Structure 1
Amino acid sequence: MPYIYFSDTFEVKWSYTYTRPGYNRKQHHSVPKDWWTEDVSILNIDLFRCIIMTIRSTHVLPPQLIGEALHVYACKWLPFIKVKSSGSSSSQTEESKEKNRKVLETIVSMIPADKGSVSAGFLLRLLSISSNLGVSTVTKTELIKRASIQFHEANVSDLLYPSTSYLDQKFYDIELVQVVLESFLKFWKRISTGAGDNKHYLLRSITKVGKLIDSYLQVVARDDNMTVSKFVALVEAVPAIGRLEHDDLYQAINIYLKVHPDLSKSERKRLCGILECQRLSSEVRAHAVTNDYLPLRTVVQLLYYEQEKESNAATSTKVQKPLELLLGAKKRPATRDSHGKQSLGLDKEEFKRGEITRRASLAESREKSQQKTKRLDDKLALDLEKKMVIRENKEESMSGSKLNLDHKKMVQRTRSNKSEYGSEKRR
């Protein structure tokens, strides 16, 4: 048998084609490491499993390359399955469903344990297909666990899968996202208790998940069949540490209110009650105040918070100016004048300015105290005047009664005198 030797490997015509979906052709200067993944994807699942397990046992190829081979095979053999209602194709559908169930369970069992061997989007896609295929509980639990560990690496497009339940009228599969989110939070709490140097990484991961959920809410809010309870449940599932700002959440709520204008007053109140005014930016607050879709109570809360913030800022500015002047005088080093005397670093103009400000504040406080004293004096004078009027009225009434008594006594005396004089005259 003749042997042919090539001195230049660039002249070899390799068999890789990269016809799988999602691949962008590139000009490679050398043979890519994953050239064989598409070739082995044409094999049946049993032979494919034997090849992958043999490659893994050699520990030559990295886990990411094994994961790429599994991804290529899944894209070829696991399309989205739509159950047909016609009776003629029901047996064929069940047969294909059984075959795809075996493929999915085998692929999940071969995923390397190394983190990042497959993408979060690939795991979420397998999880969405598993609900329709009816895979085993072990396989589904493994997918949820692996997807939750890498959940912060996912994109919004990785979560947009249609609901496979006939009873569920929603277009998107909200339950899938909720299950993965709950598993992620349990995993995050477990590893955050003993975290030392990884605190920044954990905070960054849960913040990414919070932004991911808020972006996902902006998409599912456009679903006409999305209920308020489901929407609020997904919002409240994210802890406060994962949502430091509420700008994206406000956008999601605003979209939901526009798409669902027939909400009751209690539903609007419940939906907008999850917003926190202090976590909104000034631009978003300005937009929310003029938003007709928000309930009046939320708008009043926003206005009250804005007014309180402005008053606090004004108060802090007034207090800060004298403090800055005082601290500036303390920080400046002492200097010596032309006569060698030590003086403060505060020049005459600044001293005059400070003195004028101090005198103005004293005059203002003195004026306020004088006005307060005047008001008290006026009140006391008014009370005294009322008491004097009452007293005068009493005295007048008493004096009137005394006059009447004196008049009666005088009349009686006159009559008695007249009677005595008449009796003497008769004598």
Structure 2
Amino acid sequence: MKKQCFKESETSPNQQVSLEYCCWFEDACILDMDYFVKTLSNIKQKGVRAESVTTSWMKKRFFVETLVSVLPPDKDSIPCNFLLRLLRTANMVSVDSTYRTELENRISWQLDQASLKELMIPSFSHTCGTLLDVELIIRLVKRFLSLDHDGSKNGAALVKVAKLVDCYLAEAGLDANLSLSQFAALAGALPSHARATDDGLYRAIDTYLKSGSKAP
């Protein structure tokens, strides 16, 4: 994994601590995930009792919950994209809702810094018909708006989120199982003034209509 290098003179003591935190979390997650993937591959190849699979799953859940519990308290101390990757894993192993809510709140605060790639979190629910967790993105967008009580988020941040939402809708709209109500809920989650232009939204609508979705 590539890490950006910073000269000592370019970072303050607080920034240095944050960078060290991020590097540690990245290494910990990657190493543990690599191990977990290898474990599941061995299970598939050799065949292991269900009890062993459950034990591995519980260890993974404990690992994620531990990471979340020791996150620095500052809102912007951990990059948004890392938090999104952690949330993806948290949803996969069904961590306690308290930890998921904590991650979602942190992500929502800096949603304008997210990348489309990391927002493409699959749905791990057996009752959800869509490939992507659209309901999660709806929650993140609504929390992004609700958490900004003091108006500290500038207009540029809102425009960035609007562009992200439109790009996400264009990808999610390819899924024929995406319901019209879900599409409309996400498209309408942002105020009208958030979009400098509606071109991105129109492209998303066009993609959705061409997908052949007939879900209500």
Q: What aligned pairs does 1:4-403 form with structure 2 within 5 A after superposition? A: 22-23=1-2, 61-78=16-33, 88-188=48-148, 190-192=149-151, 198=152, 201-260=153-212, 263=214
Distance 1:120 1:259 in 2: 31
Q: Structure 1: 5+ residue runs without aligned partners?
A: 1-21, 34-57, 193-197, 268-427
Distance 1:176 1:122 in 2: 16
Question: Equivalent residue of 2:154, what SS?
Answer: helix
Superposition TM-score, scaled by structure 1 size: 0.44
Distance 1:68 1:88 in 2: 34
The one-character-per-residue Cα deviations of 1:192-225 (angstroms, maximum 9, x if unpaired) are 2xxxxx5xx5211111111110011111111121
Contact 1:63–1:114 (CA<8 Å) still a contact in 2? no
The one-character-per-residue Cα deviations of 1:38-82 (angstroms, maximum 9, x if unpaired) are xxxxxxxxxxxxxxxxxxxx9794222212211211121136878
Contact 1:222–1:256 (CA<8 Å) still a contact in 2? yes
Structure 2 counterpart of 1:191, which letter?
D
Contact 1:206–1:241 (CA<8 Å) still a contact in 2? no
Query: Root-mean-square deviation (CA), in Å?
Result: 3.1
Question: Equivalent residue of 1:229, what SS?
Answer: helix
Distance 1:244 1:170 in 2: 29
Contact 2:170–2:204 (CA<8 Å) still a contact in 1? yes
Distance 1:88 1:100 in 2: 17
Moved over 6 A (4+): none
Change (3 A) 1:191 1:219: same
Question: Equivalent residue of 2:196, what SS?
Answer: coil
- Alignment: residue pair count: 207
% identity of equivalent residues: 29
Contact 1:128–1:176 (CA<8 Å) still a contact in 2? no
Distance 2:48 2:27 in 1: 32
Superposition TM-score, scaled by structure 2 size: 0.83
**How far did residue 119 of structure 1 move?**
1.3
Question: Equivalent residue of 2:100, what SS?
Answer: helix
Structure 2 counterpart of 1:105, which letter?
E
Distance 2:80 2:156 in 1: 17
The one-character-per-residue Cα deviations of 1:81-119 (angstroms, maximum 9, x if unpaired) are 78x99x944222211111111111111122222343321
RCO higher in structure (CA 8 A, sep ≥6): 2
